[in-house]
């Protein structure tokens, strides 16, 4: 866990969230799936003027209406209360009533118009002999409003089929201009500046456009659509979670509490699976919009008071935005430089200046040409500056290294060795633990900043892509074993963030009351688990390709095993595929 004393900005407590519910009313049309949206009042305190799905806060009365509603066996009390709130809000705001008569039919628009939208909802439905269709409302997504906003909600985005015979009629108080729209059209109109929608709505519409029909959406939400509607309704009763094929039916398809930063000075919001999210969580855990995300090479980017990142100006196909050089330490302790990068005098001088010339050691995570050649240049600058000659540390290249990847440190580091920076009075301030992680390169190592739970991963773990495993210096078995080793280390030290040599900081959301759908362990361990699962899934696909073409070559297999990857990437993919083939054969798998 990052020490609060190392955070760049004073922290403040985000506004507490309030429970709410939103419903996506869906219908099929000749043009495809459509969703009902309305424009919020221009004087609304939250998202004024935005087009939204109907919904609002959950009232105490909603929890008391369970006896008036149908219910699925898998629907918990909380989920049923949310469904009732969504039904009530749809009625009050749009005159849409998800409630059935005793014969199973819905009221039509004229009959609903005779009801009073301002009268107590449950009592009015009971007086009309209506049963709320809570069993027909399904959980699609779960959003928690961003931490930086002054008004915040904990809100499931529910999905339901629009009742036949009903037309929306806005209350002209909270909601205006109801419109049926295809998700893709709503997004296109928003991009053209004609249809203002906010971030959660955008991301939900992006997911929704993948479905062709209402049935497809509801199936994705876990509902079996076999049988007529009356056979799909379940009476009150049944609690807890049920699983069909291992799926928890009442869980959302995705959960998010987004984070915001700046992109070239403009607000930029991101979900947990998007590359900048972890960096925003590290730099601004309370959600303040203070961190610039645009890549630049002229100056260092502070991530914590004791961690700076300077990205080398070597962007490209293999390096992404460039190679990240890191400085760990502060003016009182001096610094350790990690991966000084290519032999670029301008970049090296910027790194030296960012450290105030006070660098106590230079560590190279491995020998590749975009990581280690800058080390002697940086060492020479430090010596000329009069603050000593820092040692160049790392692991020497193995015999398997290519000619352009030769590296010999002044001192070889040992696995589990600790590099320590001390304050002038001798107190330990920052400790980097060395972790030998062969796989990408035989001499690859990672570094763990113990006091703050940060893992500097070099090229072993990247943000936005998987690293290349290129035999003979690369080895897939060693790579996967090292992932397991890093997972154990991250568990032992509570590591939440990974600082890679290419790309933004990696970090996942943690399980909390605000994020009920989050994994049991987030942070670095979630990223490692995802990466390992991806590698093993690719390996299984390669094994199937080898079985399908037993006399084939790498060129034949790559077309099958990497058919989901652009053909222009196949030459690079073949390098990692060879490493997988060697592992498959070493495990006694298909013998090509």
Q: How far apart are CA 206 and CA 561, in angstroms?
A: 28
Of the two residues 519 and 532, the one the predictor is more confident about is: 532
pLDDT in the model for residue 522: 64
DSSP secondary structure string for all residues of 333-395:
TEEEEE---SS-HHHHHHHHHHTTT-EEEEE-SS--TTTSTHHHHHHHHHHHTTS--PPEEE-
Looking at domain 17-253, does it have CATH number 3.90.79.10? Answer: yes
Q: How far apart are CA 232 and CA 513, in angstroms?
A: 32
Q: How far apart are CA 214 and CA 231, in angstroms?
A: 18
Would residue 386 be called left, alpha or beta, if left means φ above 0 and alpha means ψ between -120 and 50 degrees?
left
Cβ atoms of 453 and 497 within 8 Å: the answer is yes
Residue 231: pLDDT over 80: no
Which of 384, 324, 393 has the alpha carbon at shortest distance from 360?
393
SS3 11: coil
User: In b/e form, how buried is each residue of 369-394, taking b as 16+ CB within 10 angstroms?
Assistant: bbbbbbbebbbebbeeeebeebebbb
Could you read off the pLDDT of 464-522 as tens digits, one per residue? Answer: 889 999 999 999 999 999 999 999 999 999 999 999 999 999 996 554 434 444 444 56
Q: How far apart are CA 142 and CA 22, in angstroms?
A: 10
Per-residue pLDDT band at 196 (split at 50, 70, 90): very high
Output DSSP code: residue 13.
P
Cβ atoms of 390 and 334 within 8 Å: the answer is no
* Mean pLDDT value of segment 32-47: 87
SS3 405: helix
**297-512 has which CATH code?**
3.60.15.10
Per-residue pLDDT band at 590 (split at 50, 70, 90): low
Q: How far apart are CA 379 and CA 391, in angstroms?
A: 8
- Going from N- to C-terminal start, the domains of the chain cover 17-253, 257-294, 297-512
* Mean pLDDT value of segment 370-381: 97
H/E run at residue 40: strand 32-40
Cβ atoms of 60 and 85 within 8 Å: the answer is no
> Which residues have CB under 8 Å from 43's CB, separation 6+?
none
Q: How far is CA 397 from CA 376, 394, 473, 483, 490, in A?
A: 16, 9, 9, 21, 26
Q: How far apart are CA 135 and CA 237, in angstroms?
A: 11
* Mean pLDDT value of segment 87-93: 95
SS3 447: strand
* Mean pLDDT value of segment 155-181: 92
Q: Work out the percent of the chain whose per-residue pLDDT is above 70.
A: 92
pLDDT in the model for residue 1: 86
Cβ atoms of 21 and 65 within 8 Å: the answer is no
* Mean pLDDT value of segment 391-398: 97
pLDDT in the model for residue 174: 77
Cis preceding-peptide flag for 219 (omega within 30 of 0) = no
In the numeric block, the tokens 């006070």 are attached to 358
> Which residues have CB under 8 Å from 105's CB, separation 6+?
none
* Mean pLDDT value of segment 454-464: 96
Q: How far apart are CA 443 and CA 398, in angstroms?
A: 7
Helix, strand counts (H, E) of the chain: 15, 27
Could you read off the pLDDT of 140-165 as tens digits, one per residue? Answer: 999 999 999 999 999 999 999 999 99
Token pair for 74: 């898998």
Task: Report the side by side order of strands in the sheet with 506-507.
Answer: 418-422, 428-436, 445-449, 454-458, 497-500, 506-507
Residue 409: pLDDT over 50: yes
Asked whether this chain's domains 17-253 and 297-512 adopt the same fold, the reply is: no
pLDDT in the model for residue 63: 92
What mean pLDDT value characterizes the chain?
Answer: 90
pLDDT in the model for residue 582: 94
pLDDT in the model for residue 146: 93
Could you read off the pLDDT of 537-569 as tens digits, one per residue? Answer: 999 999 999 999 999 999 999 999 999 999 999
> Which residues have CB under 8 Å from 253's CB, separation 6+?
140, 141, 207, 220, 221
Could you read off the pLDDT of 252-286 as tens digits, one per residue? Answer: 999 999 999 999 999 999 999 899 999 999 999 99
Q: Taking the chain, what is the end-to-end CA distance rounded to the nearest angstrom?
A: 47
Residue 413: pLDDT over 60: yes
């Amino acid at each position: 866990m990052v020490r609060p004393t190392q955070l760049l900005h004073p922290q403040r407590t985000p506004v507490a969230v309030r429970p709410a519910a939103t419903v996506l009313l869906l219908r099929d049309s000749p043009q495809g799936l459509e969703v009902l949206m309305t424009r919020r009042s221009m004087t609304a305190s939250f998202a004024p003027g935005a087009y939204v799905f109907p919904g609002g806060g959950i009232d105490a009365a909603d929890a008391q209406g369970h006896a008036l509603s149908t219910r699925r066996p898998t629907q918990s009390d909380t989920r049923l209360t949310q469904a009732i709130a969504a039904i009530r809000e749809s009625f009050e705001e749009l005159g849409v009533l998800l409630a059935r008569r005793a014969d199973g039919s819905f009221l039509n628009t004229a009959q609903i118009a005779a009801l009073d939208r301002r009268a107590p909802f449950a009592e009015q439905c009971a007086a009309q002999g209506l049963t709320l269709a809570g069993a027909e409302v399904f959980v699609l997504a779960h959003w928690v409003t961003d931490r930086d906003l002054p008004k915040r909600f904990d809100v499931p985005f529910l999905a339901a089929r629009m009742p036949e015979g009903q037309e929306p009629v806005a209350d002209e108080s909270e909601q205006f201009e109801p419109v049926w729209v295809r998700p893709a059209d709503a997004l296109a109109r928003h991009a053209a500046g004609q249809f203002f929608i906010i971030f959660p709505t955008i991301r939900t519409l992006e997911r929704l456009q993948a479905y062709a029909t209402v049935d497809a959406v509801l199936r994705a939400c876990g509902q079996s659509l076999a049988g007529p509607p009356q056979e799909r309704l379940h009476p009150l009763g049944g609690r807890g979670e049920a699983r069909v094929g291992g799926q928890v039916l009442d869980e959302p398809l995705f959960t998010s509490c987004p984070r915001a930063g700046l992109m070239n000075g403009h607000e930029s919001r991101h979900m947990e699976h998007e590359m900048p999210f972890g960096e925003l969580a590290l730099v601004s855990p309370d959600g303040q919009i203070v961190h610039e995300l645009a890549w630049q090479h002229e100056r260092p980017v502070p991530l914590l008071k004791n961690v700076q990142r300077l990205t080398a100006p070597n962007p490209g196909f293999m390096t992404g935005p460039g190679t990240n050089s890191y400085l760990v330490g502060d003016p009182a302790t001096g610094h350790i430089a990690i991966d000084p990068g290519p032999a670029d005098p301008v970049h090296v001088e910027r790194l030296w200046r960012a450290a105030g010339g006070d660098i106590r050691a230079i560590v190279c995570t491995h020998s590749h040409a975009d990581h280690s050649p800058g080390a002697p240049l940086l060492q020479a600058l430090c010596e000329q500056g009069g603050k000593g000659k820092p040692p160049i540390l790392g692991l020497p290249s193995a015999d398997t290294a290519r000619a352009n990847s030769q590296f010999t440190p002044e001192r070889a580091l040992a696995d589990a060795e600790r590099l320590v920076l001390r304050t002038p009075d001798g107190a330990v301030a920052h400790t980097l633990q060395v972790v030998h992680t062969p796989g990408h390169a035989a001499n690859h190592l990672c570094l763990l900043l113990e006091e703050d739970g940060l893992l500097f991963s070099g090229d072993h773990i990247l943000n936005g892509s998987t690293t290349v495993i290129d035999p003979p210096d690369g080895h897939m078995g060693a790579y996967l074993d090292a992932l397991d080793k890093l997972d154990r280390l991250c568990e032992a030290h509570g590591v939440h963030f990974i600082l890679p040599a290419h790309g933004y900081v990696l970090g996942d959301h943690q399980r909390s009351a605000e994020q009920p759908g989050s994994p049991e362990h987030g942070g670095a361990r979630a990223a490692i688990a995802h990466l390992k699962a991806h590698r093993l899934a690719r390996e299984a696909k390669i094994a199937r390709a080898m079985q399908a073409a037993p006399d084939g070559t790498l060129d034949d297999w790559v077309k099958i095993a990497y058919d989901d990857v652009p053909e222009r990437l196949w030459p690079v993919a073949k390098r990692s595929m060879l490493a997988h083939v060697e592992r498959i054969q070493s495990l006694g798998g298909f013998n090509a």
